[in-house]
Amino acid sequence: MELSHRITYLTGGGSDGWDVFYRARQMKAAGDPVLELTIGEHDIRTHPDILGAMHRAAMDGHTGYAMVPGTGALRASVAARIAARTGVPTTAANIMITPGGQAALFASHHAVCDEGDTALYIDPYYATYPGTIRGVGAVPVPVVTRAADHFQPQASAIDAVAKGAKSLLINTPNNPTGVVYSHDTLTAIADVCQAHDLWLISDEVYDTQVWDGTHISPRTLPDMGDRTLVVGSMSKSHAMTGSRVGWVCGPEHVIESLINLATHTTYGVPGYIQDAATYALGRGDPLEAEVAAPFARRRALTLRALDGQNIVRAVPVQGAMYAMLDIRATGMTGEAFSNALLDAEMIATMPGESFGKAAAGHIRVAMTINDDDYTDALTRLVNFAKTQVGP
């Protein structure tokens, strides 16, 4: 008996590129004092008040089946948040609640791609993007960006692969690069989407983590509202990664179809968790700013640690909880550098190659450990890089 090709080929038949991460975890489990700058997990936990709201909702009996599209209160709260942030009229009918942003990505591609359709995504990319596209039976095709352009997608690169495609997936603020797409970049993306009749899937889970520039949702651009699906999540904005609360925002007819999909797949999100998410959104901007504050501080620490040398250079650290560091001056690949750094200094980073071809010769640093350890890790990383440069 064989498994389906779709499930066995999710990663394209090869490694998922996270070997350094797995090795670091094994070392840490064995007792080695590894400093992990790998995954985007907050070093603070979900706020106790949110957990209190979750507990009260569960004890009050909201533990049965919840409405599949999401509770009315949470859908309305998400819609109000989006409308306030973007200025685009948004109602509960434009929102479907999902089990996290990943489920929203999967649902969005199901909504717009048929078996065998081409679905575009930007390289570098979050690790699950190609597998998500393969998982719905579509064919993933990367749009390669360049370090020389600070990984801002270029319209010409999208146009070159867009003929016959059905969708384009973008992510700003961006994981892994930490770049915030400019207004010019997004306008150019919108123009290509309209020219080639593409659906645009916009992953905006880091919209509260912007340090330089302005987050622009492409749904706000002229003539883009009817062809844009926005993916959002409570994970990054409210440190609720384990609660698995996300959403898709889009045209009403798309949401109606996605509700049918959810009925046949996830069957919704637990009601007491949705109640906690509603409570969290009700806390407003101050709570979101509190969750984002450590990463704003560590961005400044990153720039300070890199100052005065040019062996390790940062791609503009504009948003999200990551810094993408250019280590090509060492003559090493990102994978070789990350492995050597882990062996020599017990500091774990993600090779740029883990996120596609475009970030070769780079490493991604997650700003997710306490300030003192983070500063120590970056200082040692820079000193290690200096030792790798030939005379």
Q: Among 283, 302, 335, give the residue marking a domain's end.
A: 283
Q: Are 216 and 279 in a shared domain?
A: yes
Angle made by CA atoms 188, 190, 196, in degrees to the nearest 5: 105
Q: Which pLDDT does position 18 carry in this prediction?
A: 77
Q: Which pLDDT does position 207 carry in this prediction?
A: 98
At residue 55, φ and ψ (nearest 5 deg) are -65, -45
Nearest to 153 by CA among 117, 198, 211, 192: 192
Distance from the Cα of residue 300 to its chain's centroid: 21
Q: List beta partners, residue 247.
A: 97, 232
225 Rama sector, left if φ>0, alpha if ψ -120 to 50, beta otherwise: alpha
Q: Among 231, 259, 283, give the residue marking a domain's end.
A: 283
Distance from the Cα of residue 94 to its chain's centroid: 21
Q: How many domains is the chain partitioned into structurally? A: 2
HSE toward the beta carbon, residue 27, CA cutoff 13 A? 19
Nearest to 90 by CA among 98, 72, 78: 78
| Residue labelled with tokens 């409405």 | 67
The answer as to whether 390 is a domain residue is no
The answer as to whether 391 is a domain residue is no
Distance between CA 178 and CA 336 in Å, rounded? Answer: 22
Q: Are 41 and 112 in a shared domain?
A: no
Q: List beta partners, residue 325.
A: 314, 363
Distance between CA 368 and CA 27 in Å, rounded? Answer: 19
Q: Are 36 and 66 in a shared domain?
A: no
Distance between CA 59 and CA 110 in Å, rounded? Answer: 36
Residue 226 belongs to domain with CATH number: 3.40.640.10
Q: Are 133 and 236 in a shared domain?
A: yes
pLDDT tens track of the chain, all 391 residues? 999 988 988 887 655 567 888 999 999 999 999 999 999 999 999 999 999 999 999 999 999 999 999 999 999 999 999 999 999 999 999 999 999 999 999 999 999 999 999 999 999 999 999 999 999 999 999 999 999 999 999 999 999 999 999 999 999 999 999 999 999 999 999 999 999 999 999 999 999 999 999 999 999 999 999 999 999 999 999 999 999 999 999 999 999 999 999 999 999 999 999 999 999 999 999 999 999 999 999 999 999 999 999 999 999 999 999 999 999 999 999 999 999 999 999 999 999 999 999 999 999 999 999 999 999 999 999 999 999 986 6
SS3 218: helix
Residue 303 belongs to domain with CATH number: 3.90.1150.10
Q: Are 194 and 309 in a shared domain?
A: no
Domain that holds residue 221: 48-283
Which helix (H) or strand (E) segment holds residue 48: the answer is helix 48-59
The answer as to whether 72 is a domain residue is yes
Distance between CA 172 and CA 236 in Å, rounded? Answer: 13
Q: What share of the chain is helix, strand, coil (3-state, %, to 5)?
A: 45, 15, 40
Q: Among 258, 283, 308, give the residue marking a domain's end.
A: 283
Q: List beta partners, residue 200.
A: 168, 228
Q: Are 193 and 311 in a shared domain?
A: no
pTM: 0.96
> Which residues in 328-360 are b (16+ Cβ under 10 Å) and which e?
bbbebbbbbbbbbbbeebbbbbbbbbbbbebbb
